[in-house]
Amino acid sequence: MTTNSTSLGLGRRDFLKNVAGATAAAALLPQPSGAAPAQTAKPQRMIGIQAGAVSFFDEGVGPVLDVFQERGAINTLFLTTFTYGRGLAGRQIPGQPFPDHGKQESDERTFHGGNYATPHPAFYADTVLKQTRAPEHGEADILQMVLPEAKKRGMKVFCSCEDVWRSSVPGVNQVTEVDLRGRRAGTLCLFNPDVRHFWTALVTDYCKSYDVDGILFFNERNGPLLNALGASHAQNIASSRVTCFCDHHQRAAKERGINFERCREAYVRLDQLVQDSLAGKRPSDGYFVEFWRLLVEYPEVLVWDRLFDEAKHEVLAEVYSTVKAIRPTLHVGFHVEHVNSFNPIFRATRRYDELAKKCDFLKVVVYNNCGGERYAHFIDNIGSTIFRDVPKAELKRFNDHLLNYTEEKELGELAAAGLSPDYVFRETQRAIAGVQGRCRVLPGIDIGIPVGRNSRVASPEDTYAATAAALRAGADGLIFSRKYSEMRLANLSAAGRAVREAFV
Ligand SMILES: [Zn+2]
């Protein structure tokens, strides 16, 4: 039970506790372009939007910021400065309809990714990952382009950095993970010192080379247990490809008194169980009992999964301490991925109060529109392995109870219906209760995140309802997601309307 008030005034944690006085507070107020600063003592929340470089090249810096302020009541930019992924960078996902702004032309062939600002070589001395500049926009530097105009308008600018890579980046092949069968993976090992140094170098570069307000760090990678089970919304089941079994992990295991070979053996057995389940080879005691028996006989399944999480959270802690050492007024946020909504096993590995110690704010994903198809996919995956004995529609209802969902549609209707505003409200309140006042909670609001052909298409009405629900739950602010280049303007306006109504 949260103690949070649903009041739309000052949050129960003083929003201003971490900002440097009234000037900074005034800069956080949503203001229409060209308007005089609002003369009100009532502090308002950080209303942010995620945007990639391409939108500013396509539409111009001033016009894009006008749209953000006028339609979305936005006062904070989460500018994608580093990723090789299409979720946060590039135009609309290929094959999806373009929104009603920006170039109506796919960048499928030109999209590359990388650092959309300028990597300053001196910061990258201790990593092999030195050449990461995104080539799409030549020598242009997105921070140099956007910062002056954003600052002029009193908007905050955060650098969004995401742990998504491509194999052609120089040095990547030396630092990738190794899977259960000894194959190189496409992901980077978070115990590898070159990788660790890269992340601290990158955020140091941003925070020392530019007048930014902080960092939003994205790492959506799962540990080997969830990957083996496919226990997420956006992945296939690949139990033989789980990671990481590289030398650095072997060393990390030894340092902690963990038996590396037992862990590997545990995952070989889990792989076999998953493959048998997928093939419908039912163990005589049933799928779930056999899975639980594996955990009893090989607790190393959990030990190895936890070691993955440990490295992931060490990276966050290092990013946080690095940024704070540069300037304590810089803020660091951590994106908490969507699987945290659906999956009770994942939830158990994420203590909000622990995460809150490593950041100033958490961006908690509460994407309701795409949430329907994603939740359905998750149920389909776990219903194919450890819960294969349970009819999937019943499994979904059971899981709803575990998650405290009360208003969601039946499994067969989930994708077309999406998740409800009640889901947004409950997940926001759960996060607020979880962080225990140690950091701010900024729900990530779904504004037109691409979905499959048979899933609900985002409308202004459901975008408005989701935004209003997050604010009603007591959110300290919002982050409109995933990126401007996939949002329709009417939906952005609807979100902005909910913000303005909450503050009247
Ligand atoms: Zn490793």
**Low-confidence spans in the chain with pLDDT less than 50:** 1-42
Rounded distance from Cα 306 to ligand 1 centre (Å):
13
- The residues, ordered by sequence, that sit 6+ positions from 210 with a Cβ below 8 Å of its Cβ are 117, 143, 144, 147, 159
Residue 109 to residues 104, 106, 489: CA-CA distances in angstroms?
14, 8, 26
CA of 185 to the centre of ligand 1 (A): 10
Query: According to the model, what pLDDT value does residue 230 have?
Result: 82
Tell me how far the alpha carbon of residue 187 lies from the centroid of ligand 1, in angstroms. 10
Pairing mode of beta strands 156-162, 114-115: unpaired
| Centre of ligand 1 from the C-alpha of residue 144, in Å | 36
Cα–ligand 1 centroid distance for 309 (angstroms): 12
State both tokens at 209. Answer: 């080379």
Instruction: Tell me the CA–centroid distance for residue 401 and ligand 1, in Å.
Output: 36
Q: How far apart are the CA of 311 and the centre of ligand 1, in A?
A: 9
DSSP type of residue 172 = G
Which two tokens mark 272? 């076999």
Q: How far is the CA of 175 from the centre of ligand 1 (A)?
A: 8
Question: Cα(178) to centroid of ligand 1, in Å?
Answer: 6
Using the mean position of ligand 1's atoms as its centre, give its distance from the Cα of residue 180 in Å.
11
If you measure from the C-alpha of residue 245 to the centroid of ligand 1, how many angstroms do you get, rounded to a whole number? Answer: 6
Helix or strand (DSSP H, E) at 49: strand 46-51
List CB contacts of 471: < 8 A, sequence separation 6 or more. Answer: 8, 45, 478, 498, 499, 502
Maximum Cα–Cα distance across the chain? 72
What's the gap in Å between 462 CA and the centre of ligand 1? 42
Separation of CA 342 and ligand 1 centre (Å)? 27
Kindly report the number of other CB atoms within 10 A of residue 258's CB atom. 17
Q: If you measure from the C-alpha of residue 191 to the centroid of ligand 1, how many angstroms do you get, rounded to a whole number?
A: 6
Residue 139: Cβ within 10 Å count: 7
Classify residue 346 by its DSSP letter. Answer: H
User: Cα(477) to centroid of ligand 1, in Å?
Assistant: 36
CA 163–ligand 1 middle distance (angstroms): 15
C-alpha 184 to ligand 1 mean position (Å): 10
Distance 376 CA to ligand 1 centre (A): 31
Sequence-distant (6+) residues with CB within 8 A of 386 are 229, 277, 287, 288, 291
Q: Which two tokens stand for residue 453?
A: 């052909």
Q: Would you state the pLDDT for residue 43?
A: 52
Q: Which residues pair with 336 in a beta bridge?
A: 364
* Residue 482: cis peptide before it, omega within 30 degrees of 0: yes
Q: How many residues does the chain have?
A: 504
pLDDT of residue 28: 43
Distance in Å, CA 248 to ligand 1 centroid: 5
Between the CA of 198 and the centroid of ligand 1 the distance, in Å, is 15
Q: What pLDDT sits at residue 235?
A: 66
Å from CA of 316 to ligand 1 middle: 17
Rounded to whole angstroms, how far apart are CA atoms 83 and 395?
36
CA of 179 relative to ligand 1 center, distance in Å: 9
- Report how far ligand 1's centroid is from the alpha carbon of 186 (Å): 12
Q: What is the whole-number distance in angstroms between the Cα of residue 177 and the centre of ligand 1? A: 5
The environment of the single-atom ion ligand 1, i.e. residues with CB closer than 5 A, is: 189, 191, 244, 246, 248-249
Q: Which pLDDT score is estimated for 236?
A: 78
